Amino acid sequence: MLAAPIPAWAQPGRVAPAVSAAGATPLPVGDAAPECIAPAKPGGGFDQTCKLTQAAFQQAGLTRQPMRITYMPGGVGAIAFDQIVTRRPAEPQTLVAFSSGSLLNLSHGRFGKRSVDDVRWVAAIGMDYGVVLVGRQSPWRTLPDLLAALKADPGKISFAAGGTIGSQDWVKSALVAAAAGVDHKSMRFVAFEGGGEAISALKGGHVQVYTGDASEVFDKLQPGGPFRVLAVLAEQRLPGPLAGVQTAREQGVDIVWPAIRGFYVGPKVSDAVFDAWGASFRHLMATPAFDTLRASHGLFPLALTGAPLRQLIDAQNRQYVELATRFGLRR
């Protein structure tokens, strides 16, 4: 079983503690357009995180120019992290999207010698949850169906992931394989640069399973669409389009995978700018309009900045170090 250390109120259906909307002012980034770096190709969770924030800042009028989104694939976040730390450490207008997958990669050395101390963590704006996704024509209609097929012949089933061995999606796949009694070293696995590519491969029938995130498939689950969600990896059922999908636990499989979605800035960004970003996010996340936007992008309530955010990041980092050790992923 995997259950990340997240606040009780961050579970699906709970309401996050209120944050003050007072005192928010436009960000001190001058006339430059704020930039949101999505450290993968378009179509995945990082892209959704940036698009949500782009829409929220534009709607609230907190910047003079619309936020632009830049895609920076490479190492599922490693290239963007290194760029911000070494080449762009003091840019006041630049945010970089992160997820719990980023923290996982940091914890077992996928970002080289980098650590969670190398950047400044601005805000967590929502919670995501893992899903087990197959094509509409798949013979498996439940998670136990998939586990039975894996147990019978693991070599016939290939898992897609946005990232290489040790990535967040790979770990979710390994946990599913383990639930079937299959060693993760025997699992067939195809790596892609981001969730968008992995979903395209699943749609094309090139792989059979994708253990992605709810936000990545939220807008792709129309009736008669190309995908079927076998399970959500949450403590309880998720609201919205996934309300009819059972959790893994409801199906007798004890896997839970919550994922933070949020942003960091460079290590040399001034305190004034860092605080202004935090104040702006607190302002946004206290509004009903942001709740609506967050839900439309497939994310669930989580609103953290400052010390509480850092405490959560440190807690997840400790857990991921233990998980990486379990799977022999530490470098």
- What are φ and ψ of residue 181, in 5° steps? 80, 20
> What are φ and ψ of residue 249, in 5° steps?
-65, -40
pLDDT for 245 equals: 94
Full 3-state SS string of the chain: CCCCCCCHHHCCCCCCCCCCCCCCCCCCCCCCCCEEEECCCCCCHHHHHHHHHHHHHHHHCCCCCCCEEEECCCHHHHHHHHHHHHHCCCCCCEEEEEEHHHHHHHHCCCCCCCCHHHCEEEEEEEEEEEEEEEECCCCCCCHHHHHHHHHHCHHHCEEEEECCCCCHHHHHHHHHHHHCCCCHHHCEEEEECCHHHHHHHHHCCCCCEECCEHHHHHHHCCCCCCEEEEEEECCCCCCHHHCCCCECHHHCCCCCCEEEEEEEECCCCCHHHHHHHHHHHHHHHCCHHHHHHHHHCCCECCCEEHHHHHHHHHHHHHHHHHHHHHCCCCC
User: For the segment 96-130, what is each residue's pLDDT rounded down to a tens digit?
Assistant: 999 998 998 888 888 888 999 999 999 999 999 99
Q: For residue 274, which of 79, 140, 282 has the smallest C-alpha distance? A: 282
pLDDT of residue 30: 60
Separation of first and last alpha carbons in the chain: 24
Q: 131 pairs with which residues across the strands?
A: 232
Cβ distance 39 to 66 under 8 Å?
A: no
Q: Supply the pLDDT for residue 311.
A: 94
Q: Tell me what pLDDT residue 19 has.
A: 41
Give the pLDDT confidence score for residue 9 in this predicted structure. 38
Bridge partners (DSSP) listed for residue 127: 260, 300
Query: What is the CA 246 to chain-centroid distance, rounded?
Result: 20
Q: Tell me the two tokens of residue 301.
A: 């309530």
Q: What is the pLDDT along the chain (331 residues), one digit of tens a residue?
A: 444 444 443 444 444 444 444 444 556 556 678 999 999 888 888 998 999 999 999 988 887 788 999 999 987 789 999 999 999 999 999 999 999 989 988 888 888 889 999 999 999 999 999 999 999 999 999 999 999 999 999 999 999 987 788 888 899 999 999 999 999 888 999 988 778 888 999 999 999 999 988 888 877 777 778 999 999 999 999 988 889 999 999 999 999 999 999 999 999 999 999 999 999 999 999 999 999 999 988 899 999 999 999 999 999 888 888 887 877 776 5
Per-residue pLDDT at 330: 63
Tallying the residues shown for the chain, one arrives at 331
pTM listed for this prediction: 0.81
Catalogue all structural domains in the chain, each as residue range(s) with its CATH number: 1-10+33-331 (3.40.190.10)
What percent of the residues of the chain are helix, what percent strand, and what percent coil, each to the nearest 5? 40, 20, 40
**CA-to-CA separations, 256 to 5, 64, 87, 169, 296, in angstroms, rounded:** 11, 41, 37, 13, 23
Q: Give pLDDT, residue 29.
A: 58
